[in-house]
Structure 1
Amino acid sequence: MKGLVSVIVPVYDRAHLVAETIESILIQTYQPVEIILINDGSKDDTLSVLREYKRRFPSQIRVIDQPNQGQIIARNNGIKIARGNYIAFLDSDDLWMEDKLERQIPCFEPGVGLVYSGTEIIDEEGQTLRVDFADEAISGNIYPQLLVKNRMTGGTVVVTAESLNQVGLFSSDFKAAENWDLWLRICKAYSARVVMDPLVKYRIHSQNMSGDGQLMLRAKLQIIQKHCDLHSKDAVVARYSRLAYADYHYRAGLNFFAAAQYPLARNAFISVLGFSFFYEDTWLRLFRSFLGAPGNRLLRILK
């Protein structure tokens, strides 16, 4: 069906939230849309909720019931049966604004493989915590900038089925940041477009994987080792690869600093300088790492 968007929603133990997620897709002002719900071995009443929606909307909703294999395999299984020209992603605890697809699909021009947007951050009760507008400058050939940090929340992203056929699906080599890896592969081969406004409500709660700092840091290093090339013949890629390594060591330093492991933080911030001499507030952080716990307590009191 021309213009069809296939929305992939992996679900694990979200019986209390997934109905709201599905409703946010059903009310989209853009049509046609098919919804592929993958029950990833849920132990609660999730499957019953999904089957009830399948009963109510048999022409629009499909349900996959699989043993628990994780969200990467769940998403890939959904993609494999998708019939749309466009593939969109949404986690089972997040929500779409009703005009999300209406604003994104027209951005697809020849050569564009991915469109993303800004994000509204909500708490477990759905109350807005903050709004993160996307950077309008991160559009077009964004592959180099994307090496440094992931610029997009997964639920904001729509890609073409053609791009997935070209670069492949989510990689099971990753324990986290598999989204980032796929966006990089797509953006290396295709242009990207952005809608600055928030079109997704991203829910913050205790089970968010992104809240595990050490896990995300290991995933970031894995991304860098796979995609970055410090000696690339493309000067832009080489420059952003150096910034990616600088950002990795900077994030590691922040983690050590927050844990009051000041010698380790100091080493990490010194490593940053080997890749970028003026990255973020590295010099200030490095100075504070020499102060130790007493000096930093004093600074906090003075502040």
Structure 2
Amino acid sequence: MSQANSKTRIPLHPPKIPAIPQDVSRPLWSVMIPAYNCSNYLIETIKSVLQQDMGEELMQIEVVDDCSTDADIAALVLELGKGRVKYYRQQANVGSLRNFETCINRALGQYIHLLHGDDRVKNGYYSSITKAFKDFPEVGAAFSPWDHIKATGELSHKSRLESEVSCVLDNWLEKLAEYPRLQYVAISVKREVYEKLGSFCLVTYGEDWEMWARIAKEYSFAYVPEYLAEYREHTNSITWQSYQTGQNVKDIVRVIDKINTYLPKEKQRRMSRIAKRNYSYWVLNETFTNWFTNKNNTIAYSQIKTVLSIHIDRYVTLRTSQLLFYIWSEPYRKLVRSYFPKSH
């Protein structure tokens, strides 16, 4: 049994990441691709990396498969990567956090990019982030803004810009504590940072937010204001699955409480209120939009219930009332539509 398999799937504390022995030859980059049942997207992910391949001496590219059952991932990687992309398969399914830990442990490069097997990077990502690390050697991580893309790969919307110029971000921990401002696909981290601070832990939704805050407590972040990454939104993701039970909100509350411990004591209470308010607003707006798309009452009810348990104010009350009105009146509106069909 592998080391990851012998441990709990969701570690409560950051798993240690051992340093690479000094006599090991190391590339500049490790592009580690954790994958689980995402074969429909994995081809695009790998291609997006190979189009900017720096060569084996500078870039390690490896898919770490958490025992996918939707396809023969080993054959897919071999056919597409032709030996250039390495493949590692867990002995048993270990869950997302342990798979990320395996990715970091297997990474040999100075810079690690955890590129999920359903996301993509645009041409120029690695050269631009390399430049950021060189220009700002004191930073522990560097990232760019990203596009949100639909399951089909089409643009949905763009993330916010944190700066209009390449820079080291000011007061980043406190800004990050307000709400999640990053996606895995956009950020790369120095391996030495993981060696000092450990791997992902605590929850399976929002674990990245906690990690980026943990890093921001100890290191500065570099920013490149170019849209160089693409985060895919689809119903088979961990994010979507957590929405169905309300686990996303429960996990985020734990993350907010943990991030709070990284802040000065005099700011903790205020920042906790701000973070819970911001996340509640975001969840309600997402739930509102998604309900009109899929009419899934189960998800809507679970999100409303959990949001009301962490934050209530005038906006939350109004938005919840609006959503419940639409849910409860939908059967009557359907009946009316059946009697008065649209004319063609």
- Structure 2 CA distance, aligned partners of 1:176 and 1:270? 16
Q: 1:56 to 1:215 in 2, by over 3 A?
A: same
- Structure 1 CA distance, aligned partners of 2:29 and 2:128? 13
Q: 1:215 to 1:37 in 2, by over 3 A?
A: same
- Structure 2 CA distance, aligned partners of 1:62 and 1:55? 9
User: Do residues 224 (structure 1) and 264 (structure 2) align?
Assistant: no
TM-score (norm 2): 0.70
Q: 1:189 to 1:41 in 2, by over 3 A?
A: same
User: Do residues 175 (structure 1) and 204 (structure 2) align?
Assistant: yes
- Structure 2 CA distance, aligned partners of 1:25 and 1:155? 12
- Structure 2 CA distance, aligned partners of 1:104 and 1:148? 25
> Shift of residue 227 of structure 1?
2.1
- Tell me if the contact between 1:269 and 1:285 (Cα under 8 Å) persists in the aligned partners: no
* 1:241 aligned to which of 265, 272, 285: 272
- Structure 2 CA distance, aligned partners of 1:230 and 1:2? 32
Q: 1:269 to 1:290 in 2, by over 3 A?
A: farther
Higher relative contact order (CA 8 A, sep 6+): 2
TM-score (norm 1): 0.79
> Shift of residue 132 of structure 1?
2.1
* 1:92 aligned to which of 114, 117, 122: 117
Q: Provide the residue aligned with 1:301 in structure 2.
A: none
User: Do residues 132 (structure 1) and 159 (structure 2) align?
Assistant: yes
- Tell me if the contact between 2:284 and 2:319 (Cα under 8 Å) persists in the aligned partners: no
Identity %: 24
Q: Provide the residue aligned with 1:121 in structure 2.
A: 148
Alignment of 1:55-204 (within 5 A): 55-57=82-84, 61-66=85-90, 67-108=92-133, 109-136=136-163, 139-171=169-201, 173-204=202-233
Residues 167-211 of structure 1: CA distance to partner in whole angstroms, max 9, x if unpaired?
11111x312111112111111100012223221122221112223
Residues 77-123 of structure 1: CA distance to partner in whole angstroms, max 9, x if unpaired?
12112111111111111111010011112212232111111111222
Let me know the Cα RMSD of the aligned residues: 3.3
- Structure 2 CA distance, aligned partners of 1:140 and 1:250? 25
Q: 1:134 to 1:288 in 2, by over 3 A?
A: closer
- Structure 1 CA distance, aligned partners of 2:64 and 2:262? 39
| Bigger strand share | 1
- Structure 2 CA distance, aligned partners of 1:224 and 1:101? 31
- Structure 1 CA distance, aligned partners of 2:263 and 2:139? 28
Number of residue pairs matched by the alignment: 280
- Tell me if the contact between 2:185 and 2:229 (Cα under 8 Å) persists in the aligned partners: yes
Moved more, 22-31 or 42-51: 22-31
- Structure 1 CA distance, aligned partners of 2:287 and 2:110? 45
> Which segments of 5 or more consecutive residues in structure 1 lack a partner in the other structure?
274-282, 298-303
* 2:237 aligned to which of 208, 231, 238: 208
Q: 1:290 to 1:175 in 2, by over 3 A?
A: closer
> Which segments of 5 or more consecutive residues in structure 2 lack a partner in the other structure?
1-24, 292-296, 330-344
Q: Provide the residue aligned with 1:8 in structure 2.
A: 32
- Structure 1 CA distance, aligned partners of 2:109 and 2:232? 27
